[in-house]
């Protein structure tokens, strides 16, 4: 009797197998434990949270080493802690400084800071995706979805290569136009260095929402130039809206100019929420600052309106200041703290909890108070998972900053710092703003901190740039439970 071998049953392809097939580029993938340079890069690109945290850390370390070089600074030399603080502030596009940028760093050091701002503003993930496209590395299906969700929120379905080209084109065009306008405005100040480098530095820092300046007094000395003030405000607003909103707005404008109808008739919900919340924060913050008051140097209504609007714009993670922040009254500082905590919009150079998080959380509170089922924004239903994510982000950010203020108060208890100054510095670092309530406008309050206090601010800036949820996903393990405890109620309120 002849025994026949049983037919081979094809094993079902699991997502990991599908990812390997999609990456293989027509060749059979090797064993998973043997990673060449291309396979290692692909594995990193498929885990954007690890790539984001790791590459930001590597860039900060590289910037610290470059700023410690003798060619990067003048005498006296910059210490390791101050170099780390400056590199972290530049990469995280914050703007907090412990040393005077104008007189401490040489031209080479300022170029290093400018490059760190540009790389940190656009995001290392953007450059990583560009490298992947240039090297023709194919991402797995799950990796591509992860990249797309990291760059764009909402139901956008944009080609990654076209989106990257659009991002770099927008960045170059806006920064180039800003450089030209700022250079033109600097010609009215012959006592200052009015070269192209200074103009480019301010334009890049403004578009990337970083508060660095090549001048010791930030932009207080340029406050009487409508061209410079207007250009900086425009770049800050554009850089804080997010690339998805910019691409959609430019697409609609291009269709209008060509007399065509856009493919999407109505604005996406993401763009509506970003534009409406941003306008409310900018003009509402300016109005609140006019009520609470600025410094005594704003002696006319025209100056009050202009500088209140500028500070309302720059408080949303930009960090430039045309007034002495340390001389503002306490109610104005509290308003700026609220604006800094919210910050800009997702997918932009800005920090904070983001405008969409604040809008979703506000809609959730309104729904609960009115007894309405579900959360709605602009006649659209918000998924429960997104609502929970916004609530979680808000809770984590609040707890982190409360703990940060407590740690600063313990570490710096020998100094006579007021509580509002510590809160302002903590929120400014977390939201990557760069404003400081220090009476000396040439440096931030962190310059008076001990080395341990400076390291606390460094870690807060890093946390604020990569995002608390991203860092948690990259570090903390995901627990899976197969059981559930009994339900029991507790009294609330």
Cα of first residue to Cα of last residue in the chain, in angstroms, is 81
175-214 per-residue burial string, b: 16 or more CB within 10 A, e: under 16: beebbebbbebbeeeeeeebeeebbbbbbbbbbbbbbbbb
User: Given this model, what pLDDT does residue 150 score?
Assistant: 46
CB atoms within 10 A of CB 15: 10
Highest mean pLDDT among 84-88, 91-95, 190-194, 386-390: 84-88
Give residue-wise pLDDT tens across range 253-269. Answer: 877 777 776 666 678 88
Give residue-wise pLDDT tens across range 399-437. Answer: 999 999 999 999 988 888 889 999 999 999 999 888 888
Domain limits of the chain?
A: 17-469
User: Given this model, what pLDDT does residue 157 score?
Assistant: 46
Rounded distance between C-alpha atoms, residue 315 and residue 330, angstroms: 15
Cβ-based neighbours of 451, under 8 Å, separated by 6 or more: 81
* pLDDT category of residue 35 using cuts at 50, 70 and 90: very low
Average pLDDT estimate for 160-167: 71
SS3 content of the chain, % helix, strand, coil (to 5): 60, 0, 35
Average pLDDT estimate for 33-44: 51
Counting residues of the chain whose pLDDT is more than 90, the rounded percentage is: 30
Strand partners, 73: 105
Q: What angle do CA 114, 443, 179 make, to 5 degrees?
A: 30
Higher pLDDT, 42 or 460: 460
Residue 375, H or E segment = strand 375-377
| Token pair of 360 as six digits | 């979703």
Rounded distance between C-alpha atoms, residue 363 and residue 369, angstroms: 10
Strand partners, 462: none
Lowest mean pLDDT of 40-54, 186-200, 296-310, name the range.
40-54
Average pLDDT estimate for 363-389: 86
User: Given this model, what pLDDT does residue 31 score?
Assistant: 46
Rounded distance between C-alpha atoms, residue 188 and residue 47, angstroms: 50
User: Given this model, what pLDDT does residue 16 score?
Assistant: 40
* Pairing relationship of beta strands 380-382 and 375-377 according to DSSP bridges: antiparallel
Residue 376 phi/psi, 5-degree rounding, is -125, 145
Q: Is 188 helix (H, G, I), strand (E, B) or coil?
A: coil
Please choose, from the candidates 109, 55, 53, 117, the residue with its C-alpha nearest in 3D space to the C-alpha of residue 82.
109
User: Given this model, what pLDDT does residue 17 score?
Assistant: 42
Decide: 443 and 454 in contact? Cβ < 8 Å: no
Cα pseudo-dihedral 174, 178, 181, 183, rounded to 10: -140
Q: Is 380 helix (H, G, I), strand (E, B) or coil?
A: strand
Average pLDDT estimate for 471-487: 64
Give residue-wise pLDDT tens across range 120-152. Answer: 887 655 655 555 555 455 544 444 444 454 444
| Token pair of 176 as six digits | 């180039």
């Amino acid at each position: 009797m002849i025994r026949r071998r049983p037919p081979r049953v094809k094993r079902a392809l699991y997502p990991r197998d599908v990812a390997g097939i999609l990456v293989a580029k027509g060749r059979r993938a090797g064993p998973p434990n043997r990673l060449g340079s291309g396979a290692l890069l692909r594995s990193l690109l498929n885990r954007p949270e690890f790539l984001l945290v790791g590459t930001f850390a590597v860039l900060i370390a590289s910037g610290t080493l470059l700023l410690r070089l003798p060619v990067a600074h003048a005498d006296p030399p910059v210490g390791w802690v101050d170099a780390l603080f400056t590199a972290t502030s530049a990469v995280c596009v914050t703007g907090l400084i412990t040393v005077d940028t104008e007189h401490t760093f040489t031209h080479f050091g300022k170029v290093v800071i400018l490059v760190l701002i540009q790389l940190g503003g656009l995001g290392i993930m953007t450059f990583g995706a560009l490298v992947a496209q240039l090297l023709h590395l194919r991402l797995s299906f799950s990796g591509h979805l992860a990249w797309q969700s990291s760059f764009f929120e909402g139901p956008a379905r944009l080609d990654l290569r076209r989106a990257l080209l659009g991002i770099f084109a927008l960045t170059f065009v806006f920064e180039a136009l800003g450089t030209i306008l700022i250079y033109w405005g600097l010609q009215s100040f012959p006592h200052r260095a009015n070269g192209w480098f200074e103009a480019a530095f301010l334009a890049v820092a403004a578009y990337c929402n970083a508060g660095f300046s090549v001048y010791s007094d930030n932009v207080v000395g340029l406050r009487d130039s409508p061209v410079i003030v207007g250009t900086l405000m425009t770049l800050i607003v554009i850089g804080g809206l997010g690339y998805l909103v910019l691409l959609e707005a430019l697409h609609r404008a291009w269709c209008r100019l060509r007399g065509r109808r856009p493919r999407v008739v109505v604005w996406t919900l993401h763009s509506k929420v970003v534009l409406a919340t941003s306008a409310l924060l900018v003009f509402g913050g300016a109005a609140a600052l006019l009520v609470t008051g600025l410094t005594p140097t704003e002696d006319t209504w025209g100056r009050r309106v202009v500088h209140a609007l500028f500070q309302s714009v720059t408080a949303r993670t930009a960090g430039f200041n045309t007034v002495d922040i340390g001389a503002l009254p306490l109610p104005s500082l509290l308003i700026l703290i609220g604006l800094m905590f919210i910050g800009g919009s997702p997918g932009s150079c800005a920090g904070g909890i983001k405008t969409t998080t604040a809008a979703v959380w506000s809609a959730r509170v309104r729904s609960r108070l009115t007894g309405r089922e579900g959360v709605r924004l602009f006649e659209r239903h918000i998924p429960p998972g997104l609502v929970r994510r916004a609530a979680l982000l808000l809770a984590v950010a609040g707890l982190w900053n409360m703990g940060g203020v407590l740690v600063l108060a313990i570490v710096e208890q020998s100094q006579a710092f007021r509580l509002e100054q510590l809160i302002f510095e903590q929120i400014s670092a977390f939201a990557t703003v760069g404003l400081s309530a220090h009476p000396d406008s040439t440096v931030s309050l962190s310059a008076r901190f001990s080395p341990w206090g400076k390291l606390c601010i460094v870690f807060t800036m890093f946390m604020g740039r990569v995002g608390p949820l991203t860092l948690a996903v990259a570090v903390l393990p995901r627990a899976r439970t197969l059981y559930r405890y009994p339900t029991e109620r507790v009294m609330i309120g």
